[in-house]
Amino acid sequence: MVRFRPVPEKLTLIAWLSGIVIEVAILARGLTQKMAPQYPFFFAYLSCVFLSSASGLVVERLRPGWYAHWYWGWEFVCVIAGYSVVLEIIEKGLAPHLAGAKKLFRNLAMLVFSAIVGYMVIQWMWVRHASAWRTSAYVEMNLRTAEAFLLAAIIAAIGYYGISVGKNLKGIIVGYTWCVAIIVIVDSVQSHLGKSFQDLFSSLRSTSYLIALLIWVIALWSYQPVPFVAPPTQPRKDYEVLTATTKEAMDSARTQLEKAARR
Amino acid sequence: MIQMLLFSSIGVALLALLYLFALRSDPKPEGGAQALVGARGALTSLRTGLLPLDLVERVFAQDDLEFVMSRSNPRVQKIFLRERKKIALAWVTQVRKQVLNLKAFHSGQSRLYAGLDARTEIVLALNFISLLVLCRALQAAFYLRGPFAARPMIAPAISVGAKICSVSERSLAFLTPGEQRFPEAAGHREA
């Protein structure tokens, strides 16, 4: 069987400690620059990850036997907190431009969340031998996939409408989406290949999280407000005129292209 | 295996989207003088028509091709085809640019309206995508086979594109129950 050589313990420890230091730096900047009240869910998520990393390090050194339970418990909390970051991105990224889309995304996100977590809670209550780590891993896999779809839709909407999100929110979106994409890829490959490459996948996840932390520390070093946008006030009737004009122009372009192609 | 490929491709697609998002420079807030001038320019070009129709007729005129092929020597024929190819490529590039301008104009303006309709917006976005794909397909066909020989390659692409658009439009009907908002526009496209 092919096995990946485990990463040296010292290197793992250095990466672990670096992560904790960067998390502290981001949290400190968030408080001193007054960014935490602007992005409360993101800073709550980062606090969860910080508590998980710092306490995990202590548990791993003092009571290695407890670590697995400790890890999966915190992982569950961090995944739930991470999902709230997506809700915050929907709230801050799409408002006030796309109030309708914001509501649609938010309701969809809440529905998916309730379905996944509700299903797992029911299963956990009814199935006697359901282990905590399996439940946590299942919730994580499904929530991360849902996050991937939601983030793709949000990024597409922001790009399509040319919405200005500001340096701070852009950093949060880039860092978090990067993490989610890597986790989705790594988890899917890992579930196919089994435990042979577990160390490699674990290292990939840690490295991608460190990269995300670096993105966040740069983007959130100082507060940069999102450019002010007046809430939409144009009446519905004008919007209908606009869409009709756009459709008419598109039909004209399509007719010309079709004529050229059918010649 | 299929599950792994499916989930991995979701992750890879998200990374590709993220790459484009990270590269994008933050647009200026709307309401600025430059944005207004740009929007007005795009609207003017829409009202006056994307490009004169007789120009399109001339570029792809079959009579010209037949005349040159029947009367002139091979060198002249070659020059004629090369020049027409250049003009056709320039024309389709300009149409693509106008479609992009139209998209920028619509997305820039529509977000200012309170009653943004999700279904209409998704249908328009799909239409923009299909038009841009059509432009690229035409560019590739003109480049590879010239303006007169491209027809067999393009006609199926157009019908597939139109089919995708009408299917997408129908599948999105659930977003706005009740009457169709733009029956005349939809009817025109179906025709």
Could A256 and B125 be called an inter-chain contact, meaning their C-beta atoms sit closer than 8 Å? no
User: How big is the CA angle at A216 (ends A213 and A222), to the nearest 5 degrees?
Assistant: 140
Query: Residue A39 in contact with residue A33, Cβ under 8 Å?
Result: no
Residues A252 and A160 in one domain: no
What residues in A contact B125, CB-CB < 8 Å? 160
Number of domains observed in the structure of chain A:
2
User: How big is the CA angle at A172 (ends A167 and A175), to the nearest 5 degrees?
Assistant: 115
> A247: burial class by Cβ within 10 Å (0-12, 13-18, 19+)?
buried
Tokens of A87: 């809700």
The residue range of the domain holding B149 is: 33-190
Residues A125 and A192 in one domain: yes
Phi first, then psi: what are they for A234, rounded to 5°? -65, 140
- Does the residue A3 lie in any domain? no
The answer for B 71-110 residues in CB contact with A (under 8 A) is 88, 91-92, 95, 98-99, 102, 104-110
3-state per-residue secondary structure call for B47-92: HCCCCCHHHHHHHCCHHHHHHHHHHCCHHHHHHHHHHHHHHHHHHH
Q: Which residue of A has its CA nearest to B52?
A: A256
Largest CA distance in chain B: 64
Is the torsion defined by CA of A206, A43, A132, A123 positive or negative?
Answer: negative
Residues A165 and A243 in one domain: no
The residue range of the domain holding A22 is: 9-229
Number of domains observed in the structure of chain B:
1
| pLDDT, one tens digit for every residue, chain B (191 residues) | 777 888 889 899 999 999 999 888 766 555 445 555 555 565 555 455 555 666 666 777 778 888 888 877 888 888 888 888 888 888 788 878 877 877 777 777 776 665 667 777 787 888 888 888 888 888 888 888 777 766 655 555 555 555 545 554 554 454 444 444 433 333 333 33
Best mean pLDDT range from A48-57, A210-219, A229-238: A210-219
CATH number at residue A55: 1.20.1070
Give tens-digit pLDDT for A36-70.
999 999 999 999 999 998 888 888 888 878 887 78
Q: Which residue of B has its CA nearest to A101?
A: B118
Structure ipTM? 0.78
Residue B107 CA: distances (Å) to CA of A242, B104, B152: 10, 5, 34
Residues A218 and A262 in one domain: no
Residue A220 CA: distances (Å) to CA of A23, A39, A216: 11, 11, 6
Looking at the complex, report in whole angstroms how far the Cα of residue B110 sits from the nearest Cα belonging to chain A: 7
Give tens-digit pLDDT for A95-151.
766 666 777 788 888 888 888 888 877 877 777 666 666 677 777 888 888 899 999
Query: Residue A255 in contact with residue B134, Cβ under 8 Å?
Result: no
- Does the residue B5 lie in any domain? no
- Does the residue B7 lie in any domain? no
Q: Which residue of A has its CA nearest to B119?
A: A101
Residues A263 and A158 in one domain: no
Residues A29 and A115 in one domain: yes
